[in-house]
């Protein structure tokens, strides 16, 4: 991530890449992702373990851990400084995700209303084709939210009890949320 000079590791991006290249991991992960469910812990932990072991310097984990089991395994792999918990109203989330468009080539992310591309269907950065993620339909987003409440929400308590969580109001616009995060992590830099 440019602003923090740390690597950005997104398990969602890594899994989508695995699906695209039809690797063994991708073939196993696809059905869970399309259904709005979590990919099994052992697969995601192995992916993160491999990624972190080849890493020098700091990193930002995006979308990991998503279960208590993943959090416990992460502790065996590496010590983390803090957890950023973005709190967003569910109706706002459904609107953000169903109107999200992603670039097939560079991974750039747009929103049809709040951050539209200059040219319809084309990425501003690289001219790549924009597409809607197959799990960004309303039905799958709602299932992903159910999965979140059941499997991921307990992590708020887990990291809260360790004094490791920064709760950030994510309802605001992109710049305001970004500034709130930067301000909250300032003491650690
Ligand atoms: P994301 O790009 O973070 O929204 O993730 C997209 C999908 O990838 C999720 O709905 C899950 O199916 C899968 N996924 C991403 N990260 C994880 C994780 N840490 N554990 C299990 N499944 C994950």
Q: What is the DSSP letter of 150?
A: I
Reported pTM: 0.94
Pocket lining: 63 vs ligand 1, CB cutoff 6 Å: yes
Pocket lining: 38 vs ligand 1, CB cutoff 6 Å: yes
- For atom 3 of ligand 1, the residue with the nearest CA is 12
Copy the structure tokens of residue 79.
């010590």
Contacts of 26 (CB under 8 A, 6+ apart): 15, 17, 18, 19, 20
What are the C-alpha distances in Å from 98 to residues 45, 69, 74, 87, 124?
28, 29, 31, 18, 20
Is the pLDDT assigned to residue 2 strictly greater than 80? no
Return the bridge partners of 84, or none.
Answer: 166
pLDDT digits (tens, 9 = 90+) for 83-94: 999 999 999 999
Pocket test for ligand 1, best of 9, 10, 29, 33 (most atoms within 8 A of CB): 33
- Output the DSSP codes for 18-58: HHHTT-HHHHHHHHHHHTTPPPPHHHHHHHHHHHHHT--S-
Q: What is the mean pLDDT of the chain?
A: 95
pLDDT digits (tens, 9 = 90+) for 61-73: 999 999 999 999 9
What are the C-alpha distances in Å from 77 to residues 41, 45, 160, 189?
14, 10, 20, 22
Is the pLDDT assigned to residue 178 strictly greater than 90? yes
Atom index in ligand 1 nearest the CA of residue 66 equals 19
What dihedral do alpha carbons 126, 130, 136, 137 form, nearest 10°? 170
Pocket test for ligand 1, best of 19, 28, 31, 39 (most atoms within 8 A of CB): 39
pLDDT digits (tens, 9 = 90+) for 23-61: 999 999 999 999 999 999 999 999 999 999 888 889 999
């Amino acid at each position: 991530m440019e602003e923090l000079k740390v690597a950005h590791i997104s398990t969602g991006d890594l899994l989508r890449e695995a699906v695209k290249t039809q690797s063994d991991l991708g073939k196993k992960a696809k059905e869970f992702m399309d259904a709005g469910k979590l990919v099994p812990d052992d697969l995601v932990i192995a992916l993160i373990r491999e990624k972190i072991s080849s890493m020098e310097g700091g990193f930002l984990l995006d979308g990991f851990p998503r279960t208590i089991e993943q959090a416990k395994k992460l502790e065996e792999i590496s010590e983390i400084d803090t957890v950023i918990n973005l709190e967003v109203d569910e109706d706002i989330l459904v609107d953000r995700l169903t109107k999200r468009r992603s670039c097939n080539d560079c991974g750039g992310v747009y929103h049809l209303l709040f951050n539209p591309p200059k040219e319809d269907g084309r990425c501003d950065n690289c001219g790549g084709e924009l597409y809607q993620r197959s799990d960004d339909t309303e039905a799958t987003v709602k299932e992903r939210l159910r999965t979140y409440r059941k499997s991921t929400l307990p992590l708020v308590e887990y990291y809260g009890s360790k004094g490791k969580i920064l709760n950030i109001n994510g309802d605001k616009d992109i710049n305001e949320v970004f500034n709130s995060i930067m301000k909250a992590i300032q003491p650690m830099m």
